[in-house]
Amino acid sequence: MLHKEERVLKVNVKETALEHIQDEIIAVGVFEKAKMLKGAAKKIDMLTGRIITEVYGFGDFPGKLYQTQMLYATEGVQTKRVLLVGLGEEKEFSLEKLRGVGATAARFVRDKGIKSFVVPVSFVQTRGISVREKIGALLEGILLGLYRFSEFKSSQKEAGEKRPDTVTILVSDADELRNVRSEVHRTEAIAHASILARDLVSRPGNSATPNFLAQAAKKIARQHGLSCKVLDKKATAQMGMGSYLGVARGSDEPARFIIMEYKPAVRRKVPTVVLIGKGITFDSGGISLKPPNNMEEMKTDMAGGAAVLGTMQAVAAIKLPVHVVGLVPATENLPSGHALKPGDIVRALSGKTIEIISTDAEGRLVLADALSYAPRYKPDAIIDLATLTGACIIALGNHASGIMGNNEKLIEKLRRAGDRTGERVWPLPLWEEYGKQIKSDIADIKNVGGREAGTITAGYFLKEFVGDTPWVHLDIAGTAWTKKDCPYIPKGATGVGVRLLVELLSNWSDVKRETKEVKRKT
Ligand code: BES
Ligand code: ZN
Ligand code: ZN
């Protein structure tokens, strides 16, 4: 079973005065070291005869970032309780912090067993953040912060089913209402898509098989009006995907090459973007077997594929005016009597021969054939996402995905999208000199370039299968999974890539639209 919609928090939008709203609890933000209260905090302070000012004065609640304080007996407001959430110092404030603040409020409500809460648009008032950005960040934090993967927990209690049912976003006028409604719709679509990706990544390898991913893609396609085609071993063999099938050979689970396509219902010409996600549903390393420590984490080796499925769902749900194709070459990487061996040579779809040095460098092998498949869509850009190298975790840790490519503009666009969404990316070079490391004596190329610059030589390998199309590769090995709880990303699968790509694709179409509008006016 996939993402259960009934488990999802219901989001209402209401136009009611703050003093009249009746609910279990209302959350408001308070800045640290602020001379004056602002927004909803100020309003509640006035309505309650300065209760917040008083608490602030005691020093119990200085408004430190993610600090919480619940107030009772707040006469003057109709909600039963008031929750103060610390915003930290105003000059340090950001949308990323606001996501964390939203998550903090929602988790507080959950931990208290409270079933519904109110968040006013005036929760925080500060310069440089629009109403849309504010609601987007708060709600994203709330929805993603409440996430838990509980499908394999047998008892309800352990599964942590204690969770709020409803959040009400409170707006002050009709104009705001329209804006907030559409932002809520967009944010819900994106958050649900991130959650879908998280669910797929968390799911163990014996459940999330290549065929399971294909079924998930088909279900998304049915629900959101996309097309979906799944190629089996025979079809990919006929096409000549020898690199991808080389990896699949060691596994008894049938390989699935997933193709999803979203065509917007607009008449004008729209850009075409191909997204490719590594879909290794379990990476044992193959004959070049991985050491047993933490090998269970290799169920996450399809996080790139999960991000592509999630992004396809989101772009269809919010109807972006971009033609998007998603490719997920899915297979397990296991050792067996049929498995690829070090020293073997495979022929990729592009015709290039590849000498296998390590069967554990399998991600680049499956991506190579997907990259060669992409040009048939005549894309304006190709973006691949992959948990590709352990070296990327050494280079950037968990705080950024590595980004490489052949087009500076596209890299820059992704960097900006990364900064805006908090799914940050950081560039590494693909200079020609690195190419020498993957020259093979007996084939066209080899799949490992030694220990030095392991992330870059992997990226370079991919580049060899990309033509002139603008292309970027995102190495998400360090960002797809977190061992620690983060403000709005509970420990486990992060769903990385979905928010980043949706942001990129949203602005892509905006840029086009803006330039067109300007042209029309002049
Ligand atoms: N899936 C792994 C990379 C990985 C490692 C992802 C740790 C997430 C956490 C990939 O297939 C792999 O095994 N890469 C090798 C490449 C090496 C053999 C050149 C690696 O990084 O060790
Ligand atoms: Zn591997
Ligand atoms: Zn792998």
Query: In terms of domains, do 502 and 377 share one?
Result: yes
Are residue 140 and residue 189 in the same domain, yes or no? yes
Do residues 147 and 267 both lie within one domain?
no
Q: Which of 176, 195, 214 is the last residue of a domain?
A: 195
Q: How far is the CA of 358 from the centre of ligand 2 (A)?
A: 8
Do residues 105 and 247 both lie within one domain? no
Q: List, for residues 165-177, the tens digit of each pLDDT value.
A: 999 999 988 889 9
Give residue-wise pLDDT tens across range 278-312: 999 999 999 999 999 999 999 999 999 999 999 99
With contact defined as beta carbons under 8 Å apart, do 442 and 430 qualify?
no
Contact 437 CB / ligand 1 (< 6 Å): no
% of the chain exceeding 70 in pLDDT? 95
How confident is the model over 65-85, as a mean pLDDT? 94
Q: Of residues 509 and 498, which shows the higher confidence score?
A: 498
For ligand 1, say whether the CB of 390 is within 6 Å of any of its atoms: yes
Same domain, 168 and 241: no
> Position of tokens 């209690």?
157
Three-state secondary structure call for residue 491: coil
- Has residue 273 been placed in a domain? yes
Q: What is the mean pLDDT of residues 258-269?
A: 96
Q: What is the pLDDT of residues 20-59, one digit of tens each?
A: 999 999 999 999 999 899 999 999 999 999 999 999 889 9
Structure token digits, residue 334: 């296991």
What amino acid occupies position 306? A
The answer on 493 and 393 residing in a single domain is yes
pLDDT value at position 509? 58
- Give residue 159's pLDDT band: very low, low, confident or very high (50, 70, 90): low
Domain assignment present for residue 203? The answer is no
Same domain, 134 and 95: yes
Q: What is the mean pLDDT of the chain?
A: 95
In a domain, 116, yes or no: yes
pLDDT at residue 349 tops 70? yes
Q: Which of 195, 210, 239 is the last residue of a domain?
A: 195
Has residue 152 got a pLDDT over 90? yes
Which pLDDT score, from 0 to 100, does residue 160 have?
61
Rounded to whole angstroms, how far apart are CA atoms 452 and 431?
A: 14
The answer to whether residues 55 and 164 belong to one domain is yes
- Give 355 Cα–ligand 3 centroid separation in angstroms: 17
Give the CATH number, domain containing residue 259.
Answer: 3.40.630.10
Residue 209 lies in a domain: no
Question: How many Å apart are CA 230 and CA 485, to the nearest integer?
Answer: 36
Note whether 400 and 338 are same-domain residues.
yes
Is 268 in the same domain as 189? no
Q: Structure tokens of 104?
A: 């903090």
Q: Which residues of 123-137 are buried (b: 16+ CB within 10 A; e: fewer)?
A: bbbeeebeebebbbb
Domain that holds residue 112: 5-195
Least confident of 1-10, 186-195, 304-313: 1-10
Whether 451 is a known active-site residue: answer: no
Whether the predicted pLDDT of 122 surpasses 60 = yes
Residue 208 lies in a domain: no
pLDDT at position 184:
98
Cβ(453) to ligand 1 under 6 A?
Answer: no
Q: What is the CATH number of the domain that holds 135?
A: 3.40.220.10
In angstroms, what CA-CA distances link 410 with 72, 395, 455?
Answer: 51, 22, 19
Q: What's the total number of domains in the chain?
A: 2
Residue 14 is a catalytic residue: no
Residues 393 and 516 in one domain: yes
Taking CA atoms only, the protein residue closest to ligand 1 atom 17 is 361
For ligand 1, what atom is nearest to the CA of residue 387?
6
> Which among 43, 134, 299, 364 is annotated as catalytic?
364
- Check residue 150 and give its pLDDT: 92
Give 350-355 contacts, CB < 8 A, sequence gap 24+: 350/465, 352/444, 352/445, 352/464, 352/465, 353/443, 353/444, 353/445, 354/243, 354/440, 354/443, 354/444, 354/445, 354/446, 354/447, 355/440, 355/441, 355/442, 355/443, 355/445, 355/446, 355/447
Q: Is 309 exposed, middle or buried (CB count within 10 Å of its CB: 0-12, 13-18, 19+)?
A: buried
Which of 360, 455, 457 to mutate for ligand 1's pocket (most ligand atoms within 8 Å of CB)?
Answer: 360
Q: How confident is the model at residue 1 (pLDDT cuts 50, 70, 90)?
A: very low
Å from CA of 387 to ligand 2 middle: 9
The answer to whether 366 and 349 have CB atoms below 8 angstroms apart is: no
**Is residue 269 assigned to a domain?**
yes
Query: In the listed set 174, 195, 216, which residue is the last one of a domain according to the structure?
Result: 195
| 383 located within any domain | yes
Q: What whole-number distance in Å separates Cα of residue 126 and Cα of residue 131? A: 10
**Rounded distance between C-alpha atoms, residue 254 and residue 370, angstroms:** 17
Residue 155 has what pLDDT?
Answer: 79
354 within some domain? yes
User: Are 136 and 268 in the same domain?
Assistant: no
Q: Would the CB of 361 count as within 6 Å of ligand 1?
A: yes
Report d(CA 279, CA 363) in Å as an integer. 8
